[in-house]
Structure 1
Amino acid sequence: MHKTTLHNVFRPSLDPHVELALGLTARPGSTAVLAGAGLSVGAGVPAAWEIQRDLLTMSAEAAGQPTGNVFEDWKSRFGADATYDAVLSAAGPTPSARKAILRPYFEPTPDERENGIKVPSAAHMALARLMRDGWVRVIVTLNFDTLIETALRTLEIEPTVISTVADVKGMEPLHMQNQLVWHLHGDYTNPEMLNTPDELREYDPAVAERLTELFDQYGLLIVGWSGTWDPALRTVLEASPSRHYPTYWLDRSQLSEHAAKLASNRHATAVTASADDWLPALAESCTAIRDRQRDPLTTLAAVAAAKRDFSAKRVPISTHDLLINEGERLRGLPQYDTNTYSPRNVTQWDRELADEHELWMSLVATLAYWGDDNTDLWWTNALEYFGSLPSHDTASSATRTWLATPAVLALYVGGVAATARHRWSLVTALLNTPIVDEPNSKDPLPVASLWGPTAVFPFDGNTWASREMYHLIRTPLADVLGLGEAVTQKSWEQFIYLHAITQQHRLVRKLKTRTHREFPYLMVDNNPQMGDRIVADARRSFDTETISGEALVRELTTSGIFGPHKRDRDLPLEGQREMDIAQFSSAQKVVDDTIHEQIHAVELQRMNIGYGRRYPFYP
């Protein structure tokens, strides 16, 4: 039976370069690179068609022929298309002649070197980093330039370079190679280049045998190869008997017909992107994973690492891995043992248990504040995962609710962090879209409608659940994430205020919900020294200052989520159902009145029993 884990839940959201980075760092050296002309485009090295056009133009000029459409002129003269290999073969009938013709296309002039042309590009340097760090040990290139070797030497790495059949016959076994650059068709410094159709139709048996071994035993990262002009290479790749590791095919445009067929045959992941963008991102991800493995992260270090990745516009892959592992660790705690009747005394929440969840809450807070739609999926899926954990048939309702604790903590710490960042689309998604089945009725409900702070802090006559929840998530938000006390308080109030309005809207629309009968932890008096202020003063403070109901509406309107001028772009609720500004205001009035009544009741009770006025205020 298939077991659902956080690894399964989060898997679909990974970008291809993140997936490959995980594979490279888990199995160093198990993937080889096959580089085509697309690798060197960013370095200013001309593509085959550019060399082809230049040679045709020079040939036409030398023969006194018109140069308007050199490709059509060639076809009319010779009855065949002016392919790169055919043109080069005609221009240079011998390997030495072709070498002399090609040299200016690959070696930079002083001006070109100064302007960064025909020198290693970001893509070349990224491959050099992958090889230096041991993630990749074999690079097979079809290019005649030597930019890969130059990039490696820039990093003080002297690679093993082979470029002839004799080199291949004398090379050590592939598994013994460490930093191998194999010029499969030769390089421009060696006369034994393979260019023409005859030369590319079939490889020497020793070369074909070694390629077959490579394609059989290694995963592949194919970069910028069209697959069109290399029939011998296509034949060997098609005949590869097995695929032990995955294949990734990177090209800046849609794969050609030949490439698409080969990619399908190897079940490759096709990636449409620039090599100069994608390969550095791959190298950065590998570095992040390596650093994570070398330095087990404390909570503060984990958050700092994620912030560095976000500030550098990198995918925080180490944070992703840590989040998954932390979720699985929480799932394995004895307190969440779903096979027992009562996993814990659900009325207790001690310091040790809070510490167990500190890293989880801090990672969620960081991703909610700094993340985007892609990284949001890493943790919002966990709300449904933890909210749907199975329990023993005889388990009590309190026990079943307790099992959702990591989901409830993620909801509140993530919701408050997203509110602080004004990520209103994420806030509304948290309040409405993570759906789980109600443990008893099995009705599908949003997590936010099903569980509130009492899921974590059940009422026992003394516990104010909302206040306990605030103090539990305050440290990850104010201290670890660095929001500070004032921003954390304001964002907490805004989030639970929106939460209450969402709940009220569901009730009005007769949508299924479970109301949270609990007094929200809100600042209703801006000055604790004025403990004798009457309820009316507290109400005025509530309306205009602290909860900032009107200010919140202004913020939401400004953000474009909804507003009087955009009635069709409203706050999304319940899939396609929406709440417009009028409905929001109506629900807001009910919530305000309810909270005012609760405040008034507390005030009257305190006056009767002589309590001070500290209870409804922040300490």
Structure 2
Amino acid sequence: MIELDPLDSLALTLHHAPGVQALLLGSGISRAAGIPTGWEITVDLIKRLGRARDAGDQTDWPAWYQATFDRAPSYSEILDAVAVTPAERRAVIQGYIEPVEGEEGRRPTKAHEAIAKLVAAGAIRVIVTTNFDRLLEAALRDVGVEPVVIASDDAIVGATPLVHSRCTIIKLHGDYMDARIKNTDDELETYSSEMNALLDRVLDEFGLVVCGWSGDWDTALKAAIMRTASERYPFYWMSRGDPTALGADIIAHRQGRVVRAADADTFFTRTLSKFDAIRADSPHPQSVAMTIAQGKQVCREDRTAPDWADLLAVEVDKVLSFLSGSDYPTERPTNESINTLVATLVARSEALRRLVLIGTRWGGPEAFRAVLRAIAAVANPGGNTSGFTYLISLRLLPASLCFHWAAAGAVMRGDDARLAALMHLPMPRMNGERHLAVSKLPLLALETVEWKVLDGFERARTPHSNYFHAIFATEARDVAIGSQEADEAWDTAEFWVAMEFAAIRLPEYQANKGWFWTPVGRFIWRREGMSHVERLDSVRALRSDAPALKAGLLGGTPEKAKEITDAVTEFFGKVGSGFF
């Protein structure tokens, strides 16, 4: 199965589902600020211990420790030996966090700054960290966010609930200015019942993005992650190379995805960059959420049809104003500019296509008729029709997405009449000819558009389907119960689009002996759910009283349906090597 690049997937999740991902940050996040990692502190403490024992200069202090004490270096053991009491250990750690005399103060890293901007944008609300420093708090205050900081059990009691806090930082091991910080193996073996309850809630109710933490230490944190197996939201693990064995166990347990990056700065700045590109010119998530909530209320009954039509009209106007306005690009397209334009069109049409999905799935007859009018309207952007054909074709992308979203909504509704009405929706005249929506709006029917230019999908078998399915899967939460229903709706809708496209094209092919083809989607190669062969067989088995045929799909008769299915089967056989 072809999947989105993990970083693209993460950026999409942060945009389309703001606040559902929590961060788990380890010492690697603060390395660029001059604060050493746990291993670097370990080596320095070994050096101090060696100097105290008159060990002289050593080129490999960990090797000296191994030879001297006949055991591998342990941060906990060495710190416990160097500093006996918690207060003394706190003083040792403070020396590594605060700059020495003459040095500039520690400043937040690029990673801290990127995280702060994601928080300010509402994409992140909960941060769990094993770090003692206050660089994250400083970065957040620089962007005007005052976080709720929980660094001890007593802070849990009076803390603002997670759902009501703009940002909550949970410092599992404490703050470096508090003598209660946790450092040794004994201290990290377990958390208090209060901290465990809070951590369990975060790990169950939120997705997780892990960065700068190896999984090799912190026994209590590992245990908490392993005892929660929530698949409610995704799990991402940033890694420079291959994760450690313990890290790999955690990733496998949470069915996580590894994101490769050189360091924390690179990871979070790239994430922020992609997030910003996706939301370019898009409405605020809360504004979209309010529009969708209102749509759910007014789409069901004909008495509220005017309110529903007004909602659609506003969103149609927003899309058309961009498509026909001066902001729409006209310069020669490049792969980079195409990716930017696609992301912009996706962002600008989000509210409209989500309303279309809701109206098709849940709306009454008048609401659905308004949906069809909205799709037809956005498919006729007007304005300048000259220029580069790639850019001209992409002006149909918002209408194409609405078409696919509506098809999936009709599939989830089990309404073949709505599916047929959508497929056979007359489009505005193009070059003097009138076409049906199913002939012009499938993603693969957008002329001259090569979807393999999408970043991360250059080698995908069905890049258009994979890319937009990931967006649909998130937005389908408006109407679907679970990811499996959303996946099946997308694949089934694409199959029916392919079949009805073939139904329109076959007579033209037979008359002119031209090239017969039909747009395929990921349904052609996926092994989950119904295979494309089983789907074709189910069409061949349709009887004259089948709802799909009675609705006018596939020519309306079993004979026509079989003829179309045979042609599609032959086409799939010719192109199959590119997909199977």
Q: TM-score, normalised by structure 2?
A: 0.59
**Cα distance between partner residues in 1 of 2:447 and 2:434:** 17
Encode CA deviations 1:263-284: one digit per residue, 9 max, x unaligned.
1111111222232222222223
Distance 1:443 1:41, change over 3 A: same
Q: Does 1:187 align with 2:270?
A: no
2:272 match: 283
Q: Does 1:85 align with 2:76?
A: yes
**Cα distance between partner residues in 1 of 2:433 and 2:135:** 56
Contact 1:391 1:400 in 2 (8 A): no
2:499 match: 390
In structure 2, give the amino acid aligned to 1:147: L
1:174 match: 162
1:98 match: 89
Distance 1:440 1:184, change over 3 A: closer
2:547 match: none
**Cα distance between partner residues in 2 of 1:374 and 1:443:** 24
1:374 match: 457
1:40 match: 30
**Cα distance between partner residues in 2 of 1:345 and 1:158:** 54
TM-aligned CA deviation for residue 21 of structure 1: 2.4
Distance 1:110 1:183, change over 3 A: same
| Unpaired stretches in structure 2, ≥5 consecutive residues | 284-317, 350-393, 411-416, 467-490, 521-563
TM-aligned CA deviation for residue 223 of structure 1: 1.1
Q: 1:439 aligns with which of 557, 567, 570?
A: 567
Contact 1:320 1:378 in 2 (8 A): no
**Cα distance between partner residues in 2 of 1:306 and 1:283:** 27
Q: Does 1:24 align with 2:14?
A: yes
1:145-164 matched pairs, under 5 angstroms: 145-164=133-152
Contact 2:129 2:170 in 1 (8 A): yes
Distance 1:67 1:287, change over 3 A: same
Encode CA deviations 1:57-103: one digit per residue, 9 max, x unaligned.
12211331234243344344444322111111211112222222222
1:220 match: 208
Question: Larger C-alpha radius of gyration, 1 or 2?
Answer: 1
Task: Give the SS at the match of 1:128.
Answer: helix
2:188 match: 200
2:380 match: none
Contact 1:227 1:258 in 2 (8 A): yes
1:194-593 matched pairs, under 5 angstroms: 194-240=182-228, 242-273=230-261, 274-294=263-283, 296=319, 298-299=322-323, 301=327, 303=329, 310=336, 317-319=343-345, 326-330=399-403, 343=424, 349-350=430-431, 374=457, 381=464, 389-391=498-500, 397-398=506-507, 439=567, 442-443=570-571
Distance 1:396 1:147, change over 3 A: closer
Range 162-171 or range 396-405, more displaced:
396-405
TM-aligned CA deviation for residue 132 of structure 1: 0.9
Distance 1:189 1:109, change over 3 A: same
Distance 1:177 1:202, change over 3 A: same
**Cα distance between partner residues in 1 of 2:516 and 2:328:** 24
Contact 2:113 2:139 in 1 (8 A): yes
TM-aligned CA deviation for residue 46 of structure 1: 1.4
Task: Give the SS at the match of 1:390.
Answer: helix
**Cα distance between partner residues in 2 of 1:103 and 1:312:** 49
Encode CA deviations 1:20-75: one digit per residue, 9 max, x unaligned.
22222232222111111222233332111111111111221133123424334434
| RMSD between superposed Cα atoms in Å | 4.8
In structure 2, give the amino acid aligned to 1:389: A
TM-aligned CA deviation for residue 219 of structure 1: 1.0
In structure 2, give the amino acid aligned to 1:152: L
Encode CA deviations 1:389-426: one digit per residue, 9 max, x unaligned.
11399867335799989969xxxxxxxxxxxxxxxxxx
Distance 1:51 1:313, change over 3 A: farther
In structure 2, give the amino acid aligned to 1:310: E
Q: Does 1:54 align with 2:44?
A: yes
**Cα distance between partner residues in 1 of 2:170 and 2:21:** 14
In structure 2, give the amino acid aligned to 1:101: V
**Cα distance between partner residues in 2 of 1:268 and 1:57:** 38
1:141 match: 129
Contact 2:229 2:254 in 1 (8 A): no
**Cα distance between partner residues in 1 of 2:504 and 2:340:** 44
Contact 1:437 1:445 in 2 (8 A): no
Distance 1:282 1:378, change over 3 A: farther
In structure 2, give the amino acid aligned to 1:293: S
TM-aligned CA deviation for residue 253 of structure 1: 2.3
Task: Give the SS at the match of 2:498.
Answer: coil
1:567 match: none
In structure 1, give the amino acid aligned to 2:201: E
Q: Does 1:14 align with 2:4?
A: yes
Kindly tell me the number of residue pairs found equivalent between the two proteins. 408
2:110 match: 122
Encode CA deviations 1:329-370: one digit per residue, 9 max, x unaligned.
355699x99859x95999x74569699969979997687797
- Determine what percentage of the aligned residue pairs are the same residue: 27
Contact 1:75 1:81 in 2 (8 A): yes
Encode CA deviations 1:190-224: one digit per residue, 9 max, x unaligned.
21110001100011111111111111111111112
Contact 1:338 1:390 in 2 (8 A): no
**Cα distance between partner residues in 2 of 1:441 and 1:84:** 64
**Cα distance between partner residues in 2 of 1:123 and 1:44:** 13
Distance 1:62 1:364, change over 3 A: farther
**Cα distance between partner residues in 2 of 1:162 and 1:229:** 21
| Unpaired stretches in structure 1, ≥5 consecutive residues | 1-10, 409-435, 448-573, 576-619
TM-aligned CA deviation for residue 178 of structure 1: 1.8
**Cα distance between partner residues in 2 of 1:206 and 1:80:** 35
Range 264-273 or range 279-288, more displaced:
279-288
Distance 1:218 1:367, change over 3 A: same
**Cα distance between partner residues in 2 of 1:313 and 1:275:** 25
**Cα distance between partner residues in 1 of 2:245 and 2:341:** 32
**Cα distance between partner residues in 2 of 1:349 and 1:391:** 20
In structure 2, give the amino acid aligned to 1:127: I
Distance 1:208 1:381, change over 3 A: closer
Contact 2:77 2:184 in 1 (8 A): yes
